[in-house]
Chain A
């Protein structure tokens, strides 16, 4: 790939837990990726616009418990003309929520205990595949 992988990270909830996102962001930066923190308490519209504006390859959402915003982001991304960014969710996602999320358009869900390496590798490989397809 020519350019560095660009990732938009967001905590859509009002919930302030940021440990997971901080750790993952630091690991992605160390792996050479460009991480842009979009902020806290953004809605689906704001997340999608920020992703377009920043021209990112990946959107990373840090979630806990309930996922309405993620489904709305999926809808917005489906409406986008052209290629949409990869959508990755991390956090305390109950096991029975993973399949509905991935069926709706989430590319990957990383639950607590996922290794940093597995996240980096996934994003790198997916972006490489997409670049090759383009």
Chain B
């Protein structure tokens, strides 16, 4: 609840503003229909969990984000985490270049080359992907190939898929996920010269259709509500906006007429949420979201396949609630958030490293994120019983409240024209700005307690964490540039120009972009060259930031 207010008459609420009583009784869930609204785990409406056996059958996947420096630096950290029990890996692409598919030589990047590799390696060609993945057995691992923004997602996927093909792994055997995320690229951390949202939507839908036909084990667009929450939306809102985004994909895919709802809905039913130091509300969010997704897919879209109606959840356990002050306290915050996520029945999790308010995670901090999860999985007993809080007057009541309010917020988004229109008009940018400000004011006034920040402060902190420093950006720049020049010298110019023409025609037309993208990366086209084609075909767009 995070509002340690005991004064009489004071209204206590969850972080999302749901009023809380002191105690809950059967009267609070008197209307609850167990069979219809709760049901058995693994059965509709999935309130109690996506699968019948949950963690007894399979523990949640330990799935951490990692990457910095050069591709080989990124590879070493991924291997380190895999050796210590991570069950899959999330590649982080370089923000300066790969997020927006910028040229290494563009004046904007050159001027800031010290920032290259700050987080994520500049994986600017298929060769660099091969370098980053060398010695990593991708045929056996669940992966996220760094496909974080709409403009880079088809390229990142094409590189990863091509690495597999070059190793003789059939695409159909690959398992993993991407994002192509609007929240990150257009709402939370928008760069300049974005492609207009409707074209980002098109690229993501192309990718979904390609994967539906070729990679049954791949979730190409896992909408990470996480990034909307870290930017400011509250828990209820981040569920609603995630589904609003998914509705935009579903409507576009249905309007194309190539596939039926049950052909592709399962790919959109893998989403990301974010616990936020409100223990019971965070649990209620996971339970309510599964029920909402099931209703949405059945009632609005007539889905029949259980794969379509079953929501699977990845969580990124809180970045923005981490504090720079007394950073070891973040280990406790990560643990609390991870317990909530586990009680909420998530399938996959990454815990923010305790030093992330200070630097890129050190090995020590990164391994702590893995160990936090392993201690919960192996020692705590939390994995033994499915949805242990079902039937709690409070938790069931809160689950109902979260659902009710999330439908209301979804309606509000739809009243602003739906996800893409609300994004383009700047309505969503104003929403996140307002919510973040409201949160910050509560921290500033002390109404919301943050230990080490607005209470329990220490003039001299008795412990310091080591500051991790990645390879200097100048060095990343120099080596990456040499490698790009070598690639341009060595690639077959006829193949490269043929692939470039093919990709240009595809981007300008309506054909699925993925075959031409695969050809382009194999012919040695670079991320920057591909990004320039995308901007030329689609034009550019600037996020309407209320600053």
Mark A residues whose CB is within 8 Å of B.
9, 12-19, 21-23, 25-27, 37, 40-41, 43, 64-66, 68-69, 92, 94-96, 111-113, 115-117
Q: Is the CB of A94 within 8 A of B359?
A: yes
Q: Is the CB of B189 within 8 A of A65?
A: no
**Cβ-neighbour of B118 out of A27, A65, A95, A111 (below 8 A):** A65
Residues of B within 8 A of A16 (CB): 185, 188-191, 543
Which residues 117-140 of B have a CB within 8 angstroms of A? 118-119
**Cβ-neighbour of B440 out of A23, A66, A92, A111 (below 8 A):** A23
Q: Is the CB of A112 within 8 A of B189?
A: no
Q: Is the CB of A23 within 8 A of B437?
A: yes
Q: Is the CB of B433 within 8 A of A95?
A: no
Query: Knowing A116-B440, A116-B444, A117-B444 touch, does A18 contact B547 (C-beta < 8 A)?
Result: yes
Q: Is B108 an interface residue (CB 8 A)?
A: yes
**Cβ-neighbour of A43 out of B95, B111, B189, B358 (below 8 A):** B111
23 pairs of residues in contact across A and B, judged by CB atoms under 8 Å: A12-B112, A14-B95, A14-B96, A14-B192, A15-B115, A15-B191, A16-B188, A16-B190, A18-B190, A21-B547, A22-B436, A23-B440, A26-B433, A27-B444, A40-B191, A41-B108, A65-B115, A65-B118, A66-B115, A66-B118, A94-B358, A112-B357, A116-B440
Q: Is the CB of B453 within 8 A of A113?
A: yes
**Cβ-neighbour of A14 out of B112, B325, B443 (below 8 A):** B112
CA distance A116 to B188 in the complex (A): 21
The chain B residue with its CB closest to the CB of A67 is B114
Mark B residues whose CB is within 8 Å of A.
95-96, 100, 102, 108-109, 111-112, 114-115, 118-119, 185, 188-192, 230-232, 320, 323-325, 357-359, 432-433, 436-437, 440-441, 443-444, 450, 452-454, 464, 467, 469, 473, 543, 545-547
Q: Is the CB of B324 within 8 A of A66?
A: no
Q: Is the CB of A13 within 8 A of B115?
A: yes
Q: Is the CB of A96 within 8 A of B444?
A: no
CA distance A105 to B444 in the complex (A): 28
Residues of B within 8 A of A117 (CB): 444
The chain B residue with its CB closest to the CB of A37 is B547
Q: In the complex, how many angstroms separate the beta carbon of B458 from the nearest chain A beta carbon?
A: 12
Q: In the complex, how many angstroms separate the beta carbon of B401 from the nearest chain A beta carbon?
A: 27
Residues of A within 8 A of B546 (CB): 22
Q: Is the CB of B232 within 8 A of A19?
A: yes
The chain A residue with its CB closest to the CB of B437 is A26
Q: Is the CB of A14 within 8 A of B114?
A: no
Residues of A within 8 A of B96 (CB): 14-15
The chain A residue with its CB closest to the CB of B444 is A116
Q: Is the CB of B188 within 8 A of A19?
A: yes
Residues of B within 8 A of A116 (CB): 440-441, 444
Q: Is the CB of A66 within 8 A of B444?
A: no
**Cβ-neighbour of A112 out of B188, B230, B323, B464 (below 8 A):** B323
Residues of B within 8 A of A14 (CB): 95-96, 100, 102, 108-109, 112, 115, 191-192
Query: Knowing A15-B189, A26-B437 touch, does A95 contact B358 (C-beta < 8 A)?
Result: yes
Residues of A within 8 A of B185 (CB): 16
CA distance A11 to B342 in the complex (A): 38
CA distance A31 to B208 in the complex (A): 48
Q: Is the CB of B114 within 8 A of A68?
A: yes
Residues of B within 8 A of A15 (CB): 95-96, 115, 118, 189, 191
CA distance A26 to B444 in the complex (A): 13
